[in-house]
Structure 1
Amino acid sequence: MTTSIALFTRDLRVHDNPVLHAAAAAERCIPLFVVDDAIVSSSFFNANRAAFLTESLADLDASLRERGGRLVVRRGKVVEEVARLARAHDVTEVHVAADVSRYARRREEALRALDVDLHVHDASINAVPPLSLTPTGGGDHFAVFTPYFRKWETVPRRGVLRAPRRVTVPDLGGDLPDLRHGTPSPDLAAGGETVGRELMARWARSGVDDYADVHDALAEDATSHLSPHLHFGTVSVTELLDRVGTASEGARAYTRQLAWRDFHHQVLAARPRSSTEDYRTRNDRWRRSERDFAAWRDGRTGYPFVDAAMRQLAREGWMHNRARLVAASFLCKTLYLDWRRGAQHFVDLLVDCDLANNQMNWQWVAGTGTDTRPNRVHNPIAQAGRYDAEGRYVKRYLPELAEVDPRYVHEPWKLPEDERAALDYPPPIVDLGEAADRFAEARRKR
């Protein structure tokens, strides 16, 4: 009797899962998730991700039970737990999704040393395998998004796979763990494939077609909110692309955003050290100011757009993409503080924190990554006027400004003195003009 292991990592779903689809073809299949001590003991395993993961594992187990199986959960070192089960149940094959972090690649290398056939599925976490596309002129990866995207959109994608009708699992004991710890964000999104598929269906049916027109209108909150599900793999990016299609301008714009995800993965796959080191150094001598960093972290900079973004992060464990861009630019270029500090704060709170996208997006904003205009600065006042003109986004997250006249909500320091004094809101911690001059001078001296 043949027995396989489907090793779940960041693909916690039964639908369109190449790992489970292939492993379930064996006579017996062990759907395995290992609670990895190296990860759960790290800062990356924040309270928000722990809660989302706990819900996602429970939902995955329920889906497997509907198919006659169950999720097997072990805790420890991944390769040791796989080896232990392989020996005990005469496992001949192990299936796992390809991933790009240094940790994932070390895990894959160690799995290859086991006395089983290892099958690594390239198009499970990504729509296009990370290093399958290379520039025509040579090189191991694309360093600029636009030529990458032109090639990416011509690549035929694999077909969407059905969920297995039945999964036959050996008699293995063990309960599902409750991995929750700390205090998650009060408005954290729910986890699990069931929730993710409902979101995906609703988005494809009634949201994506307007995406090009409204995705940056922060008050409308008109994005898919699928990023946590893509990070944990409770939704398949291949199926998502298939569902949204390319028939509308909105769908094409959304597809482009999903391509950014693959783009960053191929950058990190080619340059693993860029998770902590500058991809393209500007020789920055970053300022060190605990006061300024604390004001940014706590949403007390005196710039309402930035502060609303940081309060949204604390409340939801998530932040609108335009807000991420402006908040990151404010830290790196207005305050001139190290991008790594901001990236780590996002790691500490974001439920959707994908290592490749978080680090490479931060580097893009800091001008040390793949941005072809490394010195661009996103002015929070100008951005607010463009994307939150009436201040509805700001007022949603800054209750102390809820009653402020929309004319002043983005610049409350311009209020009449008596009204300004009555606000429990700080003055700006930095003058934007002086900060822009400081940043320009710093980059000239590099």
Structure 2
Amino acid sequence: MSKILFTKEDIKKLKTNKNILNVSEYSITYNYEFKILFIDEYIAGKLPRQIFAENGFDINVLGLKRIEQSACRWNAAYKKDGIIGLADTRKTSSGRPRSTELTKEEIIERQNAKIKLLEAQVELLKKLDAQERQVVQKNNKIKPSDVFKTIKEVIEKYSFKNLIGYLCELSGVSRSGYYNYNASNDIRIEREKRDLEDRDLILKAFNRRGYKKGSRSIKMTLDNEFNIIYSIKRIRRIMNKYKIICPHRKANPYRRIAKATKEHSVVKNILNREFKQATPGKVLLTDITYLPYGNSKMAYLSTIKDSSTNEILAYQTSDRITLDIALDTIKKLVKNRRVTLTKDAFIHSDQGSHYTSPTFQNLLKKYKLSQSMSRRGNCWDNAPQESFFGHMKDEIDLKSCNTLENVKKMIDRYIVYYNNYRYQWNLKKMTPVQYRNHLLAS
């Protein structure tokens, strides 16, 4: 101990330093975390007075002799017992004799305690390292709550009581945060219980009528069929938490059919992406898509979609992609008594060979339907029709079909579901049929 005494002003100033546990006129006690920090930086090559100065100590108040004595004492304790020796260096390294010698049992007990702490340190660091590797792979950050949970597991396993601060410092989290985590345990249990109840309801909506859905479709299904109001954020949080994954749109791997011979003619784009004209039976979108099924088999689907209501008005499924598939779809549209077309109704398509064919164009003239075409290579000009194909392929499992008849039945079921039961966000959260009736009523 240094012979220099601290004044009242010195004591007041030193007490403001977070690295000091206690200070009196004669002595000063540093906290365990500062001692570990000091040893790390001392081994790295820094001078003792530099380390003290960088951690907020006034060298003139402490005195170089006191700093050198502390450095010598801590370094000797560290070399003898590692970081455990820094916990209470005064009792073992100050040169003052103990009043009684340790018994053999006490020595064994202390050594076992040191081994126990080292094992706990290794286990904690291994768990934190494993957690960090997992979140790095997912490009996320490790959550403090996960660290607190790991610390709690280690403390309970090794029955530690007075090492919470040290383990928190070792893990890079605050001790107050750990205590808050423990205090809120009941709240977390209650929240987890509520989340599980929400998960069960969301899963019912997610699998409603046999088709998987995204967060917006889940919200509309809960609103309309369960009379339950959940926010989008709540639904997405539960889906993320319990890994409820909606199928994502896949890119079409097939190229469009090449343009045909010169007698095929392209017509003007009279739609100009004005898809929502609030008039059912006026803007009719059409296209053909590939349907891979079974073991490398292929079917084709041609549809006509009402752009204003998103309702599928007519469709044709075939194992051949000849001109007949497009012609038959138009004939089904005209024969469908439930479909009422306006006098200025027109068919809008891409510039595929089916739609530039003179036979197809003459059929439209026969039924007094005008025609419009997207610009060349611009899929956005027919986006709602492309969107329907994308959603349908995400939501049905064509690979489970072995025959064309199975494909047709699956398409039939899906289009009934799509028109009558699949709520859509941009249709005021109604189904296509509901929205059509809404427009006609208004």
TM-score, normalised via structure 2 length: 0.19
Q: Which has the higher helix share?
A: 2
Higher relative contact order (CA 8 A, sep 6+): 1
TM-score, normalised via structure 1 length: 0.19
